[in-house]
Structure 1
Amino acid sequence: MKKIILFFTMCLVAFPAKADEGMWFLMFIERLNHRDMEKMGLQLTSEEIYSINNHSLKDAIVQFNGGCTAEMVSKEGLVLTNHHCGYDAIAELSSEEQNYLKNGFWAKDRSAEMKPKSLFVRFFVRMDDVSKRILSKVNDKMTEAERNKAIQQEMSLIEKENSEGGKYTVSVRPFFQGNEYYYFVYQDYKDVRLVGTPPESVGKFGGDTDNWEWPRHTGDFSMFRVYADANGNPAEYSKENVPLQPKHHLPVSIKGVQENDFAMILGYPGRTNRWMPAGGIEQNVKFAYPAWVEGAKTGMDVMKRYMDKDEAVKLEYASKYASTANYWKNRQGMIDALTKAGTAQTKSKEEAKFNAWANKKANKAKYGTVIATINKYYAETNLKTSHDNYLSQLMRTAAYGGVPANLGNSLIAYFKENDAKRQEMLPRLNAYVENVYGKFHAPLEKDIFAAQLNLYTVKGAAYGLPEAISKLKAENKGDFTAYVNMAVAKSIFATKESVMAFMKDPKPENIVNDPLYVVSNELAVKMRARSVEQIKAADDFEIAFRNLVAGLRESKMNSIKYPDANSTLRLSYGKVRALPADKRNDAQINNYTTMTGMVKKYKAGDQEFDLPARLLELHAAKDYGQYADKNGYMPINFLTDNDITGGNSGSPVLNGKGELTGIAFDGNIEAMAGDVIFDAELQRTINVDIRYVLWIIDKYAGAKHIIDEMTIVK
């Protein structure tokens, strides 16, 4: 591996932000944040956090399956993340007879660890700044299409240069709305196996009711193990593979946390929009998010009706329902929080000041029309945004919304090819069919599709429906129930069996007239459709937004000195910090919760608040072992004021020595606007206390052999 000398760009270091705000690149911590963190309790050097040539904290942090974060907690490849991050894998490995979601699972030894079909972890190797190189390839005379093409070509070259012949995955990403570019080098491991998970009544305790709420009592964790070949290299699944020996694993502290303790989180936050203009915030609050909320709830209601009646269906749709419900509550919380905070109005005032600066003689040529262009774009796209969110929720929640078009068009292409090409395409087709129909309940899908079509054709009509859909709406008097029933009865795409029957006796000419394909394809075409005028408006907006960010940084009017999150490794720091006293919490300080408080919520047989009998027995006996707090209670969750977002799920919470004290899994609904604007008073991260994790593994599950391979610090 090449030796890289760390360096720092002036534009990122001039104005340090408040200690608890920001999601920071690790390569800049020495210059940007290290002194602040030391004052708050950090005892590590910047080299111990991020080093290219020596092992450091970064080597213990992995991106988990592309959407979460996890951490290495043993020298034998043991990985710790959230229960909801492992949910898909656990559900995949479960059956009605062996329901690991419901009952939990703990591998008694390595041979009992289970491999899901598709699961990977991504180690971060290094990053570097390529802004000058990429931006040297573009100029202001280019169209957006020309600019994007030139940038994409240079990004591809950089990725190829640093992949070392395919050994590494390399990603070049834009920051500050395309004003800076960095590349990231990763190494992926695909043999990842389930080691243990608590039952859903622990891992998801509180369900949708407690989601985004505090006080919280959720044991949101699961455990996996990374395997490699005999030389420690990534390898496809094999019985010959051995547990990976990571460069660094986190020691686990059972000392506990107290108010104002230093807290550091490393992870892969997915997306923030703190540079978003006022018009974008207003559009989300009034058009995009209400459509998302209503569309998601329509799908959830149908799923829940079937899941409540059939345990097999509940298992099949558990992950899809949980994901939909999470975003449904998030988007409603965003509406409420952004409205209450008046975030759009605050941004408007900032933009008015910027506009005055932008129209001064020295700045007018580049920045003078920026605000007007941005506001014009949002005004013209409000109805489209509402329409698109209703349609996207239809496609997300109803398999019949997107599958017939995707599969149908793939089959049309397949049958046009020669035999050799078909043989090449067939494995991907079969894999798609298995993925779609592997956990699929046709009656449920039929009802969701009809319900979503009924909603979409009412709420999306103001923007304009596809012609064929509008015609069907009129013919069916706005109720698609009968049409969907007929379409499913006659369709090639109704079930896996009907697809397989078609493949045995194919009549490709029938696809384009298939009743599910017709509707699905019309919806897919509408989702992708953009007029010449819309493309031009979008390009003008991108230029204006890029210049807005550049201008705000140049004028020093914006207090945000870090780039938006985009699923790249970041560090945030803060402290253990209570919320105001809450009578619902039995804790002495409202920065932690206890098992006593959890048991008070217990409702026997309730889907959200049931608890395992063994857990109740251990609590009654106060059998907490070495994991009890020094004051005698069994801790469950605790609060910090770290700046995180989605994608940080599963991130390690570390003390000043770099020891694991908890696992981040949620935020509080009062600060739901945090993806757009940071609230220093309200922003909280909700974490599973590592002592509760260890207690579940050791005392509840009796899996002490897992504890024994960790480095426990007392």
Structure 2
Amino acid sequence: MKKIILSLIVSIMLVPTSVKADEGMWFLMFIERLNHRDMQKMGLQLTAEEIYSINHHSLKDAIVQFNGGCTAEVISKDGLVLTNHHCGYDAIAELSTAEKNLLKDGFWAENRKAEIKPSSLFVRFFVRMDDCSKRILAKVNPSMTELEREAAINKEIALIEKENNEGGKYTVSVRPFFQGNEYYYFVYQDYKDVRLVGTPPESLGKFGGDTDNWEWPRHTADFSMFRIYGDANGNPADYAENNVPLQPKHYLPVNLGGVKENDFAMILGYPGRTNRWMPAGGIEQNVKFAYPAWVEGSKTGMDNMKKYMDQSDALNLVYASKYAGVANYWKNRQGMIDALTKFGTAKSKAAQEAKFNKWANLPANKAKYGNVVSTINNFYALTNEKSRHDNYITQLFRTNAFATVGGTLGKQLDTYVKADVVKRAELAPKISGMAEEMFKELHLPAEKDIMAAQLKLYATKSTGYAIAPMVEKIGKENNNDFTKYVNDTFDASIFTSKEKIKAFLELPTAEALANDPLYTLSNDMMTHFRSKSDVIAKAQNDYGASFRLLVEGLRESKIGAIKYPDANSTLRLTYGKVRSLPADKRNDAKVNNYTTLDGQVKKYKKGDQEFDLPTRVLEMNKNKDFGRFADKDGSLHVNFLTDNDITGGNSGSPVLNGKGELIGLAFDGNIEAMAGDVIFDSKLQRTINVDIRYVLWVIENFSGAKHIVDEMTLVK
């Protein structure tokens, strides 16, 4: 491992040994000093070097970030990659048609030639990381505004990234930690030729649907499989038929032994975002203003998608991916509201901040920290209503394809109008391609209903902060019924068909674009969304500096109990154990830390969109046809629980035993601990995982794709 500079060694040694083992998302480069002894006591049999090494192959070399938002792992010498079904959902939906619906029916490539390349999919390997805090922080000073500070930091970041990318071979990312008090750079290598190998049918991969999402007990085959390809030398390459499967530096062996209560469990992955350092005012703002608007806006969009999705398989495919993404966070945010309210998280944070404020106003600390808490609280008081407003309009942007057209296709058309003949010839194919992609994923009647419903919600519910001027005017003129306006607007707009866009490209005029009703409405809403008063702008600037000081002061005063940085889509390790929840009559398992195929069949509802099952599963369960993947108790285990500390982005992460062997696949958390992104609850927090034996059973026994299992290294 690289030598760690003295200041880091000192800060690491200050971490108390009482840190709870199952809490925290830890940097791999610090495992030896911070966590290795605790992990060994719990069952780890690997050295720190076997987990993270920059000179030799290690566990890190088998873990990839999947398409920028999930995690996956390499599980064969030929670049076979395992991730969640919901992580591969976009790619599977894209490759599906009404005639050949891979999403609905499942798919397993019979050989390498049959593996299918989605249009855009990549995996990112982590190469190394290092500290650059001193270098970056030397470029800033307390007298800078936040914008000046950001500019200075970004200038230095650009230099660091250029110095370490080896002429474009690597992607380098410099990320802030502890609210900008520390900085590290990460070196990655991206592979863009990633092909679908297989997926279970949606009835298994998404069994339980929205009803079971974030719930336990679960019975879901939430997995899909892909393969990484490179050129003949193993380097990243654009898709080509003669590319070959990647020979990875390391891949994970698969353990068939199963798990039991208190077994060691380790997860490596790319958690997206936690807010464990969030002030009390931020939690209160989310619970009372932001999240309720998010939930209501999401539900409005979902309801209007669903009525069209139910009309046909073709329309279901159009909206399946978008609906799944919106639904996931809809339930998450409601769970956050409930959990944060139930546990009084804002109140406990406020008590911590009151304690900090006393320390901050001691004579020795007052000049630096004295105004921190009051400045933070002032910002939240000023922005509570704006946060409600922003979440209503964000869900409009998120659920409707035309709400942001001014900043996407409209921006391209604006450039096209102003360009000369040569430039227009260059731009036209790009714009046509954008239009083709856009209209693959929308149905005009649905988009009209979504926009009309979302505009009404936004205009009538965002009452404490001024709404976009055009929306306000239209609402007043139509008694907040936007149906006729939206219908007329769609009829008049050049953006609502590929043919209209093509016609505009052939005869473009600035006047036609400027007067287009969808274009002007979209620009009006986006401009309003981005705007803020001078008062709020100043408060935001002061808040940024104060939040950074709060985190610095909490660490310095040792008032804060958190010793690790928030998640921010960088590779982390979390460790804990297999751990049950209290007995639950809904679960037929002997111990409430796993579920069985028999339990899944008991949930079966013929023809139900969420709980239907293939007839073959019912027959195989009846005959106890579990093959070599049955547990020693004779049942087939489906999902199991651990107490690892994960969040969104960890989806698809490998669950490993003490030897670094794959035992499961993380895919969800329990709704009782939904406050976990803000505060870790050691009693309630659970990670829900797919048992790797169930994964293999679905591939080999149910699907008949034994050739896929045969390329893995199985450990009995």
Pairwise same-fold verdict (TM > 0.5)? yes
Q: Name the counterpart of 1:52.
A: 54
Aligned to 1:129: 131
Residue of structure 1 in register with 2:590 after alignment = 588
How many angstroms does 1:438 deviate by?
1.6
Partner in structure 1 of residue 366 of structure 2: 364
Deviation at 1:6, TM superposition (A): 4.8
Please say if residues 6 and 27 of structure 1, whose CA atoms lie closer than 8 Å, have aligned partners that are also in contact: no
* Distance in 1 between residues matched to 2:334 and 2:661, nearest whole Å: 36
The aligned counterpart of 1:10 is 10
Q: Quote the residue 1:422 is aligned against.
A: 424
Between 457-466 and 619-628, the greater mean CA deviation after superposition: 457-466
- Give the drift of 1:245: 0.3
- 1:152 is aligned to 154
Shift of residue 700, structure 1, vs aligned partner: 0.5
Instruction: State the AA in 1 paired with 2:314.
Output: A
**Residue 207 (structure 1) aligned to one of 206, 209, 232:** 209
Match of 1:493 in 2: 495
Measured against aligned partners, the alpha-carbon deviations of 1:461-497 in whole angstroms (never above 9, x if no partner) come to: 3201222221111111110000001001111011223
Match of 2:572 among 551, 570, 573: 570
Could you tell me which residue of structure 2 aligns to residue 271 of structure 1?
273
Matching of residue 560 in structure 1 with residue 558 in structure 2: no
Cα deviation for residue 618 of structure 1 reads: 1.2
Matched residue, 1:546:
548
Listed as ranges, the matches of 1:566-645 within 5 Å are: 566-645=568-647
**Aligned counterpart, 2:672:** 670
Distance in 1, matches of 2:660 and 2:677, equals 26
Gaps of 5+ in 2: none
Deviation track 1:503-528 (CA, whole Å, cap 9, x = no partner) reads 23323321111111121111111111
- The residue that corresponds to 1:243 in the other structure is 245
- How many Å separate the matches in 2 of 1:282 and 1:462? 17
Written as runs of structure 1 = structure 2, the 5 A alignment for 1:77-116 is 77-116=79-118
For the Cα contact (< 8 Å) 2:132–2:184, is it kept in 1?
Answer: yes
CA distance in 1, matches of 2:12, 2:300: 44
Could you say what secondary structure the match of 2:402 adopts?
helix
What is the Cα-based RMSD across aligned positions, in Å?
1.1
1:530 Cα deviation from its structure 2 partner: 1.8
* 1:285-308 CA-partner distances (Å, limit 9, x unpaired): 000000000000000000001101
Aligned to 1:476: 478
Name the structure 1 match of 2:391: 389
Q: Is the 8 A contact 1:641 1:684 kept in 2?
A: yes
SS in structure 2 opposite 1:132? helix
Higher mean C-alpha displacement, 306-315 vs 13-22? 13-22
TM superposition shift of 1:403: 1.6
User: AA paired with 2:27?
Assistant: F
SS for the counterpart of 2:404 is helix
Matches within 5 A, 1:258-337: 258-337=260-339
For each residue in 1:416-435, what CA deviation from the matched residue of structure 2 results, as whole angstroms up to 9, or x when unmatched? 12233334444443332233
Q: Which residue of 2 aligns with 1:708?
A: 710
More deviation in 25-34 or 469-478?
Answer: 469-478
Structure 1 equivalent of residue 444 of structure 2: 442
Whole-angstrom CA distance in 2 between matches of 1:122 and 1:459: 41
CA distances 1:635-672 after superposition (whole Å, capped 9, x unpaired): 00000000000000000000000000000000000000
The change in CA–CA distance for 1:237 and 1:261 in structure 2 (over 3 A counts) is same
Q: Distance in 2 between matches of 1:343 and 1:10?
A: 31
Partner amino acid, structure 2, of 1:608: E
How far apart, CA to CA, are the structure 2 residues paired with 1:24 and 1:13?
15
What's the secondary structure of 1:431's corresponding residue?
helix
Letter in 2 for 1:663: L
Aligned equivalents of 1:155, 1:311: Cα separation in 2:
48
Instruction: Give the aligned partner of residue 219 of structure 1.
Output: 221
For the Cα contact (< 8 Å) 1:83–1:197, is it kept in 2?
A: yes
Partner Cα distance (1:169, 1:421) in 2: 30
CA distances 1:129-175 after superposition (whole Å, capped 9, x unpaired)? 00000001111121211111110000000000000000000000000
Determine if contact 1:194/1:224 at 8 Å carries over to the other structure: yes
Alpha-carbon deviations, 1:581-634, whole Å to 9, x = none?
000000000000000100000001100000011111111111101000001000
Is this contact kept in 1: 2:22–2:643, CA < 8 A?
A: yes
After superposition, the C-alpha distances for 1:328-378 in whole angstroms (9 at most, x for unaligned) are 000000000000010000000000000000000000000000000000000
Q: Give the aligned residue type for 1:72.
A: V
Q: In 1, are the aligned partners of 2:304 and 2:449 still within 8 Å (CA)?
A: yes
| Secondary structure of 1:400's aligned partner | coil
**Rounded Cα–Cα distance in structure 1 between residues aligned with 2:56 and 2:185:** 20
TM-score (norm 1): 0.99
For residue 86 of structure 1, give the secondary structure of its aligned residue in structure 2. Answer: helix
Q: Percent identity?
A: 70
**2:274 touches 2:568 (CA, 8 Å); kept in 1?**
yes
Does the residue aligned with 1:84 lie in a helix, a strand or coil?
helix
C-alpha distance in 1, partners of 2:273/2:454? 27
Amino acid at match of 1:594: T
Do the aligned residues in 2 keep the contact of 1:217 with 1:637 (CA within 8 Å)? yes
Supply the distance in 2 between the matched residues of 1:13 and 1:245 (Cα, whole angstroms). 39
Contact kept, 8 Å, 2:379 with 2:536, in 1: the verdict is no
Contact 2:62–2:74, Cα closer than 8 Å, also in 1: yes
Asked whether 1:502 is paired with 2:504, we answer yes
Asked whether the 8 Å contact 1:217–1:594 carries over to 2, the reply is: yes
Partner of 2:259: 257
Count of matched residue pairs: 712
Give how far 1:12 is off: 3.9
Give the conservation status (yes or no) of the 8 Å contact 2:281–2:380: yes
Residue matched to 1:682: 684
Q: In the aligned structure 2, how far is the partner of 1:428 from the partner of 1:12?
A: 51
2:417–2:509 CA contact under 8 A, matched in 1? no
**What is the identity, as a one-letter code, of the residue corresponding to 1:414?**
Y
Distance 1:226-1:301 versus aligned 2 partners, 3 A rule:
same
Verify: 1:353 aligned to 2:355, yes or no: yes
* CA distance in 1 between partners of 2:306 and 2:111 (Å): 36
